[in-house]
Structures are given as C-alpha cells and as structure tokens.
Structure 1
Amino acid sequence: MGGLIYLYGLIPTKEATNQSFPTLKGFDGEGDLYTIHIGKITAAVCDLDAENYSEESIKDRINDDMEWLQEKAFHHHETVVNLSKIFTIIPLKFCTLYKNLNSLETAVQSKESKLMSSFDLISGNEEWNLKIYCDDQLLKKQVSQSNPTIEAKREEISQMPKGKQFFEKKKLDKLIESQLEEEKNKISEQIHLHLREFALKGNVKKNWGNDVTGRKDNMTWNGVYLIPESKIEVFLEQLQHYEKSMQKAGWQFEATGPWPAYHFSSFS
C-alpha cells in the first residue's frame, strides 16, 4: 500500500535550515519526524501506512477507542509543543493527513503569502490561556446585598400586601440570578480588556462546563492572548494582583502557557 503524510506543523525554511531538527517519533510510534522544504515554508511531517491510517480507519478508532484517541492526541500535542520550543511554528490540527507529497506542496504553495504573514505575527510572541472561575454563592451574596436594582426591588416588595409579596419574592430570586450573571460578565470583561493592553491580540473562547473542568466553581471567562515575550512578566504580575485582591470574593485565575499559536495562526 502507499503512504500518507501526517502534518504536525509549518516552520519558516530559514529557521529549519539554520537549526538542527530534533529526533522525534512519529504518529505510529515507529518512524521519525522529518522535514519537507516547500520554498520559504518547511513542513514537519511523518509517514503513515495508508491502509492502517485511512480516513475510515481513523474515524472508527476515534469513535470506538477512547484510549487510542487520548494517546494519539497527547502525542500530537506534545510533539507540536516540543517543536514550538525550537522553531516558530504554525501548528496543525490533530490528524491532518495528505495523500501524497504533491497534494501537500500544492496546499502550502497556495497559501504561502498568508502563512508568511502568520509567521511574522507569531514570531517573538507567546500564546497564553486564561480561565477565570467564580464561586457563585459568594458573589451572589455580595450582589444581593449591594446591587441598587435589587435593593430597589426589595423596597418595592416591602410596600406590597403580604399575599403579593410571596410571588414578587420569587421574581426577586430570578432578578438576583440575572444580576449575578451580569456582574460576572462585567468583571471578567473588565479584566480581559485590561490584559489586552499587554497583548498583541486577545480572543474570547467558549466557557467550559463543570463536567469538563471537574471543578465546583463555574468558569466565567476563557480567553487566549498573543503576548510579546517582553511583556509576559508584567502580564503574569497583573494576574497575580487580581488573584490576591479577588480571592476572598471567590474568584480564581488559571493561566497556562506558553502554547503553540493554535488560536493566532491557521492553515486550512
């Protein structure tokens, strides 16, 4: 059977030729990674058997074998991370496969200008992720006691007949919940906008549920930032400041990085 090409990432050729390429095992655990120079861009790849790693067989393994999926996804991630420590790299998604060298070369050449612009953007910068968590019960208590909208509603209810108060208090509970969400979003967005001042770019991602995080407190913000290396320290110092000043109010901050620039480079 013929072979497939598994693509991990793209590297500027000037970097690939000036630095030695590390010895890393490929996706099947047998062959090694190697490079393919395509003009100004170099592909970091490995070879795979077309029969064992056909599109259908990979779909079947992903759907039926969670242990295999976790192992291979971790391999892909770790390999890209290791390469990102040496080179400026545009990381590819898990299981990016090409049927032959010609199809890979055509894909890269057709997007050369965009890829070179991505290299310029991410070079000398780091991707960091920030997840913000909040203890809803603690913040709910604060919102309930200090929010002017809620205070006004309480005052209005206190002037009503007893029978009507019961139903209005139910509405008050819903109002507190909605004000809680507004407060969480407002505080998280203010923090995000402040941190954007130290980053070239900052994007907002979808929050994860507790079933994914395994935490009791809820995720209120999930952001990614492309930060110049010279500003990493001050970025992290700002996070430490938030952590210390807001911890008693139930806020937690989880910053991780640097990561390969998955969110600030792309190659379809």
Structure 2
Amino acid sequence: MGELLYLYGLIPTKEAAAIEPFPSYKGFDGEHSLYPIAFDQVTAVVSKLDADTYSEKVIQEKMEQDMSWLQEKAFHHHETVAALYEEFTIIPLKFCTIYKGEESLQAAIEINKEKIENSLTLLQGNEEWNVKIYCDDTELKKGISETNESVKAKKQEISHLSPGRQFFEKKKIDQLIEKELELHKNKVCEEIHDKLKELSLYDSVKKNWSKDVTGAAEQMAWNSVFLLPSLQITKFINEIEELQQKLENKGWKFEVTGPWPPYHFSSFA
C-alpha cells in the first residue's frame, strides 16, 4: 500500500521556516495533517493520501458520481488554501493536484523552479481582488428606449405607418433595443475595467456566471480579477464605491471581494 501527496500550494521556504511549529490543518482525507516539504527556496504544502483509496480512477468516479463528496472536498481545498494564504505568500494549486511521491513532486518543482520563484516574488505585497458587475436589464432597456439615438430614429421612422405595419416594425424595435442593450453594457463595463486596471499590476476578464449560480436578481454583466499592490487597495475600493453611487440609479450594481488566494495570477502545472 503506497502513499500519494496532495499538493495545496507552494510558499517561500523562508516564510515557512519563520513559523514554528507549522500551522496544523487536517488534510484531504480528514486523517493526515498538512506538512511542509522544502525544496531549496520553495516549500510545498502537502498531505498524505492512501494510494488505493485515492487513486486517479477512484477520484474520477467520485467526481462523476458523488456530488456531495465533490462539494465537501472542493470546500475543504478552498478553505485550506484560504487559511494558508492568511499566513504565507502562496501559489495555490488547483483542486486535486496529486503526486505519486516526493520525488515526482520535486521533479515537477525543479522543471518549473524559475517560474515558481518569479511568481512568489511577484505575489509578495500584492493581493488578488474580484469585481463583479451586475445590471438590471429592465431598467437599462427603459433608458435605451428613451434616449438611444438609433432607437429614437427607428420609432420616428415607423410613426407614420399604418397600425398593422407598426405592429410588425415594433418587434424590430424590440430586437434593436436588445442589440443596443448588449453594446451599452459592454461599453460601460469595458470603460470601468480600464479605469480600475490603472490601479493594478495585472488584470483578467473571466466568464460571467448565470443567475442560477449567483442567486442574484440582476444579470451579471462583467466578471474580472485584479492583482493589486497593497497600497492601492483602499483607493481601488473607494473607486468602486463611487461608481456604485454614480450608477446604481441607472440599474448597475457592483460587488467587490478579496483578498483571495491568487489563483488567477500564479500558475503551476
């Protein structure tokens, strides 16, 4: 019966050595605890797993067939990485990053050593923050219907038609409003993103979430992440609060959260 290593993240060895004893957290199997393995300047935070119980085949079957197991383990991974992030500069690893042993892990770190060390240097003193922008489509459509020049021109164009013709042309106006709505949403969000990224080191636009995922009444129009210098955090949050005050009566809503473990600005395969 062999053992596997579940990798949570990579941290600077000097930071790991500065905290004694190493923080105690339960591992992926709920039995073994997390512990550090130093590889020169990089330390891996891992926990042991039974090779039979947590083989690739078994985990794949669990992911596909046992949603409660998947949710429990994914939550454990997220919470553990978040706890480590409070203590250390960390490159967080994706859920279920597992190695066959210490030699396999060391080989992977050696291959990516320069990239890892550069990432850790980049992340020190910087934080990942997420900004989600929501909008009330009904409220925005109302404004577009009343003020958009293309829509106003189309309404004027059909105003002299017979009632029968107007009925069909109004459907085209509805389609035009939908088109202008999307253009307007993208324009506003892009302008906001460009303004916010001036305060950041790096930025990225992510896929929007559906209402089923967010549980929000409004539609998500933008989802972005920023790597911010610690000194810019307050200014960044104040900027968003000002945008909220300026745009909330026009159907816009902002959600800013952080800091998060820097999943989007530190990759390690």
Question: What's the TM-score, normalizing by structure 1?
Answer: 0.97
Tell me, what secondary structure is at the counterpart of 2:199?
A: coil
Question: In the alignment, which residue of structure 2 is the partner of 1:152?
Answer: 153
Please tell me the residue identity of whatever aligns with 2:7: L
Deviates more, 1:242-251 or 1:70-79: 242-251
- Mapping 1:40-51, distance limit 5 Å: 40-51=41-52
Please tell me the residue identity of whatever aligns with 2:19: Q
Q: Deviations over 1:47-78 (max 9, x none)?
A: 00001101111111111211111111111111
Q: CA deviation at 1:27?
A: 0.7
After TM superposition, which residue ranges in structure 1, 4 or more long, deviate above 4 angstroms?
none
Please tell me the residue identity of whatever aligns with 2:9: G
Pair 1:232-2:224 in alignment:
no
Question: In the alignment, which residue of structure 1 is the partner of 2:135?
Answer: 134
Question: In the alignment, which residue of structure 2 is the partner of 1:262?
Answer: 263
Q: CA deviation at 1:182?
A: 0.7
Question: In the alignment, which residue of structure 2 is the partner of 1:187?
Answer: 188
Tell me, what secondary structure is at the counterpart of 1:4?
A: strand
> Partners in 2 of 1:228 and 1:8 — Cα distance?
24
Please tell me the residue identity of whatever aligns with 1:88: T
Question: In the alignment, which residue of structure 2 is the partner of 1:12?
Answer: 12
Question: In the alignment, which residue of structure 2 is the partner of 1:115?
Answer: 116
Please tell me the residue identity of whatever aligns with 2:217: K
Q: CA deviation at 1:107?
A: 0.2
Tell me, what secondary structure is at the counterpart of 1:236?
A: helix
Tell me, what secondary structure is at the counterpart of 2:5?
A: strand
> Partners in 2 of 1:144 and 1:237 — Cα distance?
32
> Partners in 2 of 1:76 and 1:162 — Cα distance?
62
> Partners in 1 of 2:133 and 2:266 — Cα distance?
24
Please tell me the residue identity of whatever aligns with 2:118: S
Please tell me the residue identity of whatever aligns with 2:24: T
Question: In the alignment, which residue of structure 1 is the partner of 2:35?
Answer: 34
Q: Deviations over 1:237-266 (max 9, x none)?
A: 111111122112221111111001000000
Deviates more, 1:114-123 or 1:133-142: 114-123
Q: CA deviation at 1:192?
A: 0.8
Question: In the alignment, which residue of structure 2 is the partner of 1:93?
Answer: 94
Question: In the alignment, which residue of structure 2 is the partner of 1:105?
Answer: 106
Please tell me the residue identity of whatever aligns with 2:223: N
Q: CA deviation at 1:161?
A: 4.3
Question: In the alignment, which residue of structure 2 is the partner of 1:59?
Answer: 60
Deviates more, 1:150-159 or 1:37-46: 150-159
Tell me, what secondary structure is at the counterpart of 2:264?
A: coil
Please tell me the residue identity of whatever aligns with 1:38: F
Please tell me the residue identity of whatever aligns with 1:29: G
Q: CA deviation at 1:18?
A: 2.2
Show structure 2 runs of 5+ residues with no match.
none
- Counting aligned pairs with the same residue, the percent is 54
Tell me, what secondary structure is at the counterpart of 1:115?
A: helix
Deviates more, 1:130-139 or 1:237-246: 237-246
Q: Deviations over 1:171-222 (max 9, x none)?
A: 1110000001111111111111111111111110000111111222100000
> Partners in 2 of 1:179 and 1:135 — Cα distance?
15
Question: In the alignment, which residue of structure 2 is the partner of 1:203?
Answer: 204
> Partners in 2 of 1:116 and 1:186 — Cα distance?
38
Please tell me the residue identity of whatever aligns with 1:225: F
Q: CA deviation at 1:160?
A: 3.4
> Partners in 2 of 1:144 and 1:88 — Cα distance?
50
Please tell me the residue identity of whatever aligns with 2:76: H
Please tell me the residue identity of whatever aligns with 1:4: L
Deviates more, 1:205-214 or 1:164-173: 164-173
Tell me, what secondary structure is at the counterpart of 2:263?
A: coil
Question: What's the TM-score, normalizing by structure 2?
Answer: 0.97
Show structure 1 runs of 5+ residues with no match.
none
Please tell me the residue identity of whatever aligns with 1:229: S
